[in-house]
Amino acid sequence: MTTVPVPRGPAARLKWAIHDGLTVSRRDLTHWIRSPEEVFGGLLFPVLSVLLFGYVFGSAVVVPGGGDYREFLLPGLFGMTMVFGLVITASAVVTDTSRGVTDRFRSMPMAGSAVVAGRSVADMVRAALDLAALILCGLAVGWSPNGSFGATLAAIGLLLLLRFALIWVGIYIGLLLRTPESATALFPLVLPFAMIANTFVAPGLMPTWLGHAAEWNPMSATVAATRDLFGNPGVGGSTWAADNPLVMAILWPTVLILVFFPLAVRRFQTMSR
């Protein structure tokens, strides 16, 4: 058998890291292509939420400053879908570790970054597709971006930035878990995170302390900033965070990345059972 030489120098190593990362992300994406039911299942909750909240509860909800509830709702659901992505990431990661696939990768002459980098690329591709599907769904029920084209792109960018930050949280949590079943238990833990926010109702309508917590929620920051950029109603609140959503929508994901990226990479390199 031919023995492939060890890459020498930073350029060769970078080339291999990209090659290995892409090989892994192609594999991760193949998983979703071959299990479309899982992908549709993941989109079911946000799509049902459009219908349930948009039409059933929506008539009873007051949008602060007035405006159409579905215009208010959709950015919240975009944000929620990004947050739920954390469970998707963690569950894919723990499935690989519990089956020994991660150990196999780690015992191979691959770039150390390839497994986590491949995961993040694949998850970003899926997040972009999920978001596109939900945007189409929103357009179908009468939501529309009213801002400039640039502002619309910026809003989408902020949503993906939140998802990107949560990938690292998800990888870290996934590496801490032992069984794929425990990842499904994450869902009820993430749910309050998505609810104690400005997703469905304005935090101003909550008890004061809860409203403040909701306004400081990283997800609220992204949702409020995208409402602003999309030109949708419901921006503003009673805390500094609510009044400066754009700052917070960049700051929060940056902090999450700074904390969880090194944690996830370190955990991957030193993990042992």
Partner 1 sequence: MTTSTEFAIRTRGLVKVYGDTRALDGFDLAVRPGTVCGLLGPNGAGKSTAVRILCSLLRPTAGHAEVAGFDVVRRPWEVRYRIGLTGQNAAVDDVLTGRGNLEMFGKLYHLSAKQARRRADELLEQFGLADAANKQPKKYSGGMRRRLDLAISFIMAPPVLFLDEPTTGMDPRHRMEVWRAVRQLVSQGTTVLLTTHYLDEADQLADSISVVDHGTVIAAGTPVELKSEIGSDQLDVVLANPGDIARATAVLTAITGAAASAHEDVPRVSVPAADRVGTLTEVIRIFDAEEIVVSDIGIRKSTLDEVFVRLTGRPAESAEPLEELA
Closest CA to 225 of 251, 244, 207: 244
Pull the structure tokens for residue 221: 């920051």
**Residue 4 found at the interface with partner 1 (CB under 8 A):** yes
Q: Which of 106, 182, 191, 212 binds partner 1 (CB under 8 A)?
A: 106
Q: Which of 47, 60, 89, 107 binds partner 1 (CB under 8 A)?
A: 107
Q: Which of 41, 65, 109, 157 binds partner 1 (CB under 8 A)?
A: 109
The residue range among 82-90, 108-116, 148-156, 168-176 that interacts with partner 1, by the rule CB under 8 A, is 108-116
Given the complex with partner 1, which of 24 and 77 has the nearer CB atom?
A: 24
Q: Which of 41, 100, 142, 192 binds partner 1 (CB under 8 A)?
A: 100
- In the shown chain, the binding pattern of residues 18 to 57 toward partner 1, with x for contact by CB under 8 A and - for none, equals -xx--xx-xx--xx--xx----------------------
DSSP string, the chain: -PPPPPP-HHHHHHHHHHHHHHHHHHHHHHHHHH-HHHHHHHHHHHHHHHHIIIIIIGGGPPPTTS--HHHHHHHHHHHHHHHHHHHHHHHHHHHHHHTTHHHHHHTSS--TTHHHHHHHHHHHHHHHHHHHHHHHHHHHTT----S-HHHHHHHHHHHHHHHHHHHHHHHHHHHH---HHHHHTHHHHHHHHHHSSSSSS-GGGS-HHHHHHHHHSHHHHHHHHHHHHHT-S----SSHHHH-HHHHHHHHHHHHHHHHHHHHHHHHHH---
Given the complex with partner 1, which of 44 and 271 has the nearer CB atom?
A: 271
The residue range among 2-10, 70-78, 217-225, 234-242 that interacts with partner 1, by the rule CB under 8 A, is 2-10
**Minimum distance between the CB of residue 108 and partner 1, rounded to whole angstroms?**
6
Given the complex with partner 1, which of 104 and 266 has the nearer CB atom?
A: 104
The residue range among 98-106, 134-142, 228-236, 239-247 that interacts with partner 1, by the rule CB under 8 A, is 98-106
**Residue 268 found at the interface with partner 1 (CB under 8 A):** no
Instruction: Catalog residues that contact partner 1 under the rule CB under 8 A.
Output: 1-4, 6, 16, 19-20, 23-24, 26-27, 30-31, 34-35, 98-101, 103-110, 114, 270, 272
